[in-house]
Structure 1
Amino acid sequence: MVEYISIDQKALGSKSTILLSLNRSADRRLIKKNISGDFRVIDSLDTSLSSSGFDLCITDLQSFQSNRKELTELKNEALPVYLPIILLVEDTRILKNHQAVWDLVDDVIEIPVPMKMLEMRVKNQLRSRMHSLQIARQNEKLHILEKAVNSTNVGITITDANKKDQPIVFVNDGFTKLTGYTREEIIGKNCRFLQEDDRDQDVLKDMRDYIKNGKKGRSILRNYKKDGTPFWNELSIAPIKDKHHEVSHFIGVQNDVTKLIETQEALKDERDLQQLVTENSTDMISRHSLDGTYLYVTPSSEQLLGYTPEELVGNNAFDFFHPDDFELVDEAHKVLYENPGNNETVTVAYRKKTKSGEYKWVETVSRASLNPEDNTIVEIQSNTRDISTRKKHEQELEYAVHEKNVLLQEIHHRVKNNLAVISGLLQIQQFETEDEALNKILGNSVSRIKSMALIHEKLYRSKSLSHLEFDDYLKDLISTISRSQTHNNNFEIQIESDKTILNVNQGVPCALILNEIISNAIEHAFVGREHGTIWVSLKENGDRITISIKDDGIGIPDGLLEKRRQSMGLTIIQTLIKQLHSKLEVIVDNGTKFSFSFEKQNIKGAHSRFV
């Protein structure tokens, strides 16, 4: 590399360096004084041989013998560049037996010698050196070029255009890796060997025309590797011309684009499929600019609205909206503009004008298409379908549900009124009888009927006709029971209830159970006492409901619950507990505590035999 730098210096006009390695000082002075100023002359006394960087060395026999080893090393290091040594001797005959001298030195001059003769022979040697430097530099460039060509992944070939069948004369490593063939198997063959028997490809005619006319060209063709594997080869060729401007060679660059071609074919298949789906879909697929202008519309627009895609593209979608729906659609689409990065979709039902001037119910699902670089909205993509039939059924269903609700409300109202009539008749009978036992039975019946009538009253006034806000009902039930006990006011009822909603088919049994237990406690628990307290608790844990009623009265007499013949009240309680798929737990300790629990269920139909 030092030598090549020296070449660049010569190109800039720097002088060649001559090193004088002479034993006699008079010889050194003479040459320094008389040699041409075209040279830079240095003395070995002032510098070492290895560090002088000389282009030519002038030495005598004595100095040569002293420095022969170092001069030999310097000449070998300079190879393949020529580093000349001129030996000055008084008589060449003394070198007869010095073969080593002749092997190392490049010119021997007898002295004394005319200075012009010496200078001429110096120039001849330097000219040979410069020539060797230029050749070495060119060889180095060729070596670098070859390394660069071989380091690339693409395949490169050179063919001889002047030989029969234009054989390959050069291939790089990339081509051998690409094809699987060795250089020995490739050199001398025509490039068509990669096509095997697949030579009917249309692009081959184009390649032959490029070669025939000596032009650049590019084609993608099917080639085959050594193992028979096909691959898509992107081949670019270019002519190389000689000094007479005649085509002497062609250079070809091959690149395996199999994955690219397969990807393009897969994308084409996917695009064709998407086009098939969109063009045959009954939904109208469209793309809009941010102001609502149609950019693209599928052919289904004609079936949906009566307009062809050409009639819609360029028009604004908002022009086809029903005036009453304009604000609805605009408000719904604000989500897309406010949060474009969320990739949300917006679904909105509205009326759209058809070509006939009528309005049709449609449903559109829209999403924003974003620029991936800055996440800004590029366009809006929409899918619109006809929901006229669905809308008609929805309206019919809404009307039917409304009619059903009106009917159910009327039923609850009539049941409540009928229960009130029955309750009134029983109360009249109760007032007219003097039989205390019958009076008690009639009173209990009235209380039970009122608890059921209260449920129907609640349902009649409720938005739901099948579910009951039981915590609210519980307060009203206890208030009704308390008011009915006109002959007994020595008790207090405390309520602790979670907010709970029960299906009516579970609410009625719970109400009757609570009515029986609370009424029984008021009547029997506080006999002989001035005051008593009843605690009612309703807790909801997940779907599990737990109800407990506790009093601080005298407690249930021993054996009452085990009697074979139970009272009407206990029979009703046990029956309703089973209906709730529960068990009644009774604890007698400083009063009586009844508790039961059950799973909330959405029971439909007339499940309760008491409703």
Structure 2
Amino acid sequence: MSDTLLSSAHSLIELTPRLQRVLGYGIPVVLGGIISIASALHILTPGESFFTQVIVGLVGGVLAGPLLLGGLWLARSPTHVVQTEINREDPPDRWWHKATSPNQATSLRPAARIGAWCLAGALPVGFIASLAALYQLAHGVALADPWLLVMWGGGAGGVGGFVTGVYDSRRAHEHTQYEQVTERLTTLVETVPIALITLDQEGEVEAWNQAAESIFGYEQREVLGDTFPVIPDEEQAAFDELLQQVESGRTVTREEAEWQRYDGSRVAVQFWASPLQDHHEHDEPATRTPGERGDGAEHAIVAVEDVSSQQERQEELELLHRAIDEAPVGVTIADATQDDNPLTYVNDGFQELTGYTEDEILGRNCRFLQGEKTAAEPVAEMREAIDTGKPVSVKLRNYRKDGTEFWNYVTIAPVRDETGDVIRFIGFQQDITERKENEQELQLYQRAVDEAGHVVMITDTEGTIEYVNQAFEETTGYSKEEAVGQNTRILKSGKHSDTFYEELWETITAGDVWEATLVNQRKDGRLYQVEQTIAPITDTDGEITHFVGIESEITERRLREQRLSVLNRVLRHNIRNAMNVVRGNAETLAETLGDKDQQEQAAAIRNRANELLELTEHARKIRDLFNRETEDDATCDVNALLTGLRDEFHDEYPEAELTITTPESALVQADDRLATAIREAVDNAVTHSDQTPPEVTLTATPPERTETGEWVDILIADNGPGIPDQEQTVVEMGEETPLTHSSGIGLWLIHWVAVSFGGEVTIRENSPRGSIVTIRIPAATS
């Protein structure tokens, strides 16, 4: 019987796993209960010592308790076996299948713990049973004794528990690894930024991760079991066809499309689609490569990536590149990592600005645009900024390919990498030639206004001073700082009525120019007279924004005019009256004196008085001539003028031989005062001639264009003694000094008339004798 039991215990190891569980878990329960009861009731063989019974009973009772509880636990919570395993060599669709399979085993960690209990109970029981058996054999006790059978049964149960525990521990370890892999895959699927979606053969959604919710706006509960909701109507047929290809085993990679979000907006995506089959415990791993057709798929897995931001960035980059290429300024990029910072990019604007082509520019340093007149200061400033990696802006003169100069406003900025090192320099070049010329012209105007001898001030529409020039400071005594911000009333003298100023403001606010002579007051209280012109300044819309006032101080001029007026009155009235008295008395003396010498002296007094009377008459003529303004559009026909003077000269100078030659037409920019100058010249030629008869020739040339303009010359030639060199010099220079002055005012009158019309007077010798006075007057424009 013992052989049979040993053989049965040994055969437990060879039993199937299911039978091992039944016997391995059942025997510990039964034997554990028997041992506990037997130990408690001391019903073992009476022939044994009490000590042996106590030891066996205690050991059996202590160890049987865990065995009994373990068997009851296993009976209440049966263990299941893992049916699939994760294989790293499987394709992704098998991993997906195993990570999401709904029929996996429950946790086997309790089985692992029970196996360890069985192992802990089996080893001591088996060991004690073996010792007891050896003890009985040594004392000749039969193996068939009841209590020894119980011990052998406990040993067999322990072996069974050990075997089952080892088996279940191994399976539990495998399942723990599976759970860890599954957990990692599930986390990966839910956190990956790519939408992962599975569809069944009907196109209905089976799985929908968080990325899909984020991209399309549909929650998982809204799409599971429903048709794929993101395909636009116009693309549905094409997607269905593609899905059929996937179900037939084809893998689709990197397709681009625009799908539809929950809110109706479109999103640019790239997607991959692959067939997905169910794999069971005994299936062979799939070995199909992407794109290879299979025997048919029960599911499709679709991976979708949102590329809208990439597309937007690409469009932004393309737009930026296009904007740079088409920018109205030159744009360059230089490589800071190479020697001499060669240019690696230039836009069309730079090529148009410089005249060089891209092939002629790339690889060169931008200094090839510099030339002879390029200033060293801005070049040095750029070099220092480049060496220190700082931005810089300079204005410098550059040269185009054809050699023409242009002013270049250059801005250079460094471009750094993630470590802060400069890797590129981006440059912007703008042609500011016109602006530079305008600046120079503006500076010239400003210097001209600042240094002008006239007072210039600019006010706003309320009369508040915003600008004054240097002449204002010198004339008024107010500095620029004191005047700016003040009203023009600071110059008010109180010499003009309120009506005067009301008319002034009505005129300029209406957009007209105001001109007047008025009295102003300096800072120190002194009065001064000015000729003032005030003009409105308007913007592009015609609105008045400022007023500009120009003043010429005429205090001294008015004093001179007053003096001249008084002197003229004295000459015309007092001296003329006195000279008439002198001349009358001289004539009376000449008639009453019998001495010839005395008569000659009286005649000299009379002649000198006549000369003084003529001088006063010349002064009257000059006053009358220049007491009126010259009209800009006045014209005079020289041919008609000389023809009209012919009869006048023949009547006045019958003894003289006069010859007049004129062109058919010769219009000049002059008025009737030109006749006065011609009369004066002819009168001088006849009166001072020492020849009998006096010969005078008047010739007018047709209009002749010269480098200085178009002119008409009127020549008065005589055969007299000629005009002294001193008087020629004085008149041609237009200035007298105490040492060089004219003996009369006749030539001055001719000079003043010519100059007033924009002309000039020249004097040269005639051949063989005499002088030629030329009056040059601008020809009238048609």
**TM-score bin (small chain):** 0.3 to 0.5
Q: TM-score, normalised by structure 2?
A: 0.38
Which structure has the larger Rg over C-alpha atoms?
2
Q: TM-score, normalised by structure 1?
A: 0.46
